Amino acid sequence: MPLPRIKVAKDKAELVQKLLDTKGSTGAFQTYADIVAFAASLGAKYQKKVPLTEISQSEPAPISLEVFISRGYDYLIKLIAIADTQDIKILSTEGGISEINRVQIFEEYANGGLEKLGNELRGAVDYTERLV
């Protein structure tokens, strides 16, 4: 079974693109995975969980879970899922259902965190300065 992909809401795609550190931008993050992980942490901290309605299919396209694992964010995904469900069974590797549930929980907290970030960064010229 292929690894699931972490999705970003279509209405948050522009913000995510602006947060990426590209030539000539004021973004603070090196990869989309870094942005999503930060947003999920922020969403979890403020217990802001927002379901995704429409999913971005272009930039940023859904990101393979493999990218998050390679950057060490698999532990973050698992911790957020345990904190949300209060059930250690969410770590189960049988059947793949738990992994899909963990990804969905992570996506919803990331969406909530991106919503909070969008409100906090509204009107900012330099995102890095405002994030710090």
**Residue 112 is assigned to a structural domain of this protein:** yes
Asked if residue 65 lies in contact with residue 4, where contact means CB atoms within 8 angstroms, the answer is yes
**Residue 74 is assigned to a structural domain of this protein:** yes
pLDDT of residue 105: 96
**Residue 38 is assigned to a structural domain of this protein:** yes
Asked if residue 116 lies in contact with residue 45, where contact means CB atoms within 8 angstroms, the answer is no
* Nearest to 10, CA basis, from 64, 61, 76: 61
**Residue 100 is assigned to a structural domain of this protein:** yes
48-57: average pLDDT: 90
pLDDT of residue 29: 87
**Residue 130 is assigned to a structural domain of this protein:** no
**Residue 55 is assigned to a structural domain of this protein:** yes
66-89: average pLDDT: 95
**Residue 128 is assigned to a structural domain of this protein:** no
Domain that holds residue 59: 5-121
pLDDT in tens, 57-72: 888 889 999 999 999 9
Per the structure, the count of domains in the chain is: 1
Instruction: Return mean pLDDT, the chain.
Output: 88
> CA 93, CA 103: separation in Å to the nearest integer?
13
**Residue 127 is assigned to a structural domain of this protein:** no
Give the residues across from 6 on adjacent strands.
Answer: 63
Whole-model pTM: value is 0.90
Give the residues across from 5 on adjacent strands.
Answer: 64
pLDDT in tens, 6-32: 999 999 998 888 888 777 666 688 899
Place of tokens 């403020």: 46
Give the residues across from 9 on adjacent strands.
Answer: 55
